[in-house]
Chains A and B, each alone.
Chain A
C-alpha cells in the first residue's frame, strides 16, 4: 500500500487565489520531504526541501514567497501556491525518505493543479 499520501489529487482554482496541497507520511516519520513539479512529458523538477521544524530550502529559481512550504509535524508537509496564475498549472508531487541510514524514497500520488 501507499506509504506517502498526497491530497488533493485534483484541484481547479481561479487566478489570484491560493491552493494548499498536503503530503503525509503514513506509519513513518519524515523529518525531510521533497516537493517536485512536473510539466506534461517532462521530468520531475525539485522545487524545495521541506524540513520539519525549520525553514524549507528552495531550489534556484523557485520563489519562496509564492510556494510556501510548512513542515509542521513529522508526518505532514504542506505546499501552498499563493496568488496562482495559469502558468502554475502543473503536476505537483511530494516524496519522503523512509528508513534509517539506508533509506528508500517514496512518492505521493501527486496533485494536478489547474489555474483558470
Chain B
C-alpha cells in the first residue's frame, strides 16, 4: 500500500517568513495530493491540492509543487501570519480507487508574531 512521510514534524517561523513542508510517497500509482490544515479538535480543511498532470499550483500565499519522478511534493506558504499556525497534513491517493487517502504524520506549524 501507500506510505507517506512528512517532514518536519514541527516548524516554527517568524511572521512574514516562508514555511515549507515536504512529503514523499511510495506508490507510483497515486495521482492526487491534497494538503489539509487542521486546528485543534476540528476537521481537516482542504487548503490546496494537486493532481499528477501538473507540477505546480498556486493559490495566493499557498503553493504546492509535485515531482512525480522523485515521488515528492511540497507545500509552500509565503508571508506567514499567526493565523497560519496549525497542523498541516499531506496526503496521497488514487482518485480512481474512490479517493482513499493515506496521510503523512503532520507538521505543527507555529508562526510567531
Contact = CB atoms under 8 A, between A and B. Distances in A.
Are A and B part of the same complex? yes
* Chain A interface helix/strand/loop/mixed: strand
Interface stretch (A67-75, A82-90, A107-115): A107-115
A108 B99 contact: no
B43 interface: yes
Contacts of B101: 34, 46, 95, 105
Contacts of A107: 36, 43-45
B99 A105 contact: yes
Contacts, number: 55
B89 interface: yes
Contacts of B44: 44, 93, 107
A54 interface: no
Contacts of A31: 98
Interface stretch (B14-22, B67-75, B76-84, B102-110): B102-110
Contacts of B36: 107
Contacts of A32: 98-99
Nearest to A106: B46
A101 B89 CA distance: 24
Contacts of B103: 43-46
B43 A109 contact: yes
Contacts of A101: 95
A93 B102 CA distance: 14
A105 B103 CA distance: 13
A97 B94 CA distance: 12
A103 B98 CA distance: 9
Nearest to B90: A43
Interface of A: 31-32, 34, 42-46, 49, 91, 93, 95, 97, 101-110, 112
- Nearest first, the 10 A-B pairs at minimum CB distance are A97-B99, A32-B98, A107-B43, A44-B103, A43-B105, A43-B103, A105-B99, A43-B106, A107-B44, A109-B43
Given A93-B44, A105-B34, 5 more contacts: A31-B98, A43-B89, A43-B103, A44-B89, A95-B101
